[in-house]
Amino acid sequence: MAIIALITGAAGLKAQSARYAPAMKANLKLLQSAKTMQDYNSVSAAFNRIAQAEKNLWIPYYYAALAKLTGAMHDGTVDKDQTGGEVDSLLAKAELIEKNSELSTLHYYNEVMKMSVNPAQRYMEAAPLMEKYYQTAVAQDSANPRIYFMKGETVFHTPESFGGGKAAAKPIFQKSVDLFAAQDTTASFKPRWGQAEAKAMLKQCGE
């Protein structure tokens, strides 16, 4: 009986894994085509269901969080504090499985999103958190281009009198662009977002 149970369990695991890749591919396409917050929330829920089925993988939780973040940053009517809390929860679940630079980068992104509700009022509280996540992400993987892209965005939109502006942001965006060019794109479902945006911001810094 124990052997039968073991074989049945292995067969179930194999079937689950067989569903994983097609489900991820389908939902990544939906993420790319999403336009409304409802679309993004729907995709986020789908990734969350994948995460609950694939209990040892952090990447579905990552994309569930990224979907909510992307939607909230493009929809001015969204309750960004509520969304930020939902993103924090998804990232916490992912980090119970693995802590890494990609997740720390999304933490940074999430703090930017929450700060955007009222930048002048929230900057003093958000800035130390953003710096913590930046330093953590770099320590975890100094070749992650997305954390430099996010940092460059922050510096670009910071007044020159506070150490920001185009000139200060340009070398950070350049580093991001260079790392994007060198990144490994063969790994399945590895995060790839940010390259076109980093190139556009680097170009803007030169204008």
Give the residue among 60, 17, 57 at the shortest CA–CA distance from 191. Answer: 60
pLDDT 10s digits, 50-100: 999 999 999 999 999 999 999 999 898 999 999 999 999 999 999 999 999
Q: Residue 108: is its pLDDT beyond 80?
A: yes
Q: Residue 144: is its pLDDT beyond 80?
A: yes
Q: Which domain holds residue 61?
A: 18-124
pTM of this prediction exceeds 0.85: yes
For the chain, how many structural domains are there in total? 2
Q: For 115-119, what is the mean pLDDT?
A: 93
Do 54 and 86 have their domain in common? yes
Do 160 and 111 have their domain in common? no
CA gap 50, 2 in Å, rounded: 28
Do 116 and 149 have their domain in common? no
Do 119 and 173 have their domain in common? no
CA gap 99, 51 in Å, rounded: 16
Do 114 and 148 have their domain in common? no
| Non-local CB neighbours of 96 within 8 Å, separated by 6+ positions | none
Name the band, by pLDDT with cuts 50, 70 and 90, for residue 3.
very low
Mapped to the 3 state alphabet, what secondary structure does 136-194 carry?
HHHHHCCCCHHHHHHHHHHHHCCCHHHCCCHHHHHHHHHHHHHHHHHCCCCCCCCCCCC
pLDDT 10s digits, 162-196: 899 999 999 999 999 999 999 887 878 999 999 99
CATH code for the domain of 36: 1.25.40
Do 116 and 177 have their domain in common? no
**More confident call, 152 vs 206:** 152
Q: Residue 48: is its pLDDT beyond 70?
A: yes
CA gap 204, 195 in Å, rounded: 14
Percent with pLDDT over 70 in the chain: 92
Percent with pLDDT over 90 in the chain: 84
How far does Cα 53 stand from its chain's mean position? 21
Do 98 and 185 have their domain in common? no
Q: What is the pLDDT of residue 179?
A: 97
Helix, strand, coil distribution of the chain in percent, nearest 5 = 80, 0, 20
| Non-local CB neighbours of 141 within 8 Å, separated by 6+ positions | 100, 101, 102
Do 113 and 149 have their domain in common? no
> Considering 124, 156, 174, which residue would you say is the last residue of a domain?
124
Q: What is the pLDDT of residue 1?
A: 38
Do 92 and 158 have their domain in common? no
Do 22 and 119 have their domain in common? yes
Q: What is the pLDDT of residue 207?
A: 78
Do 119 and 147 have their domain in common? no
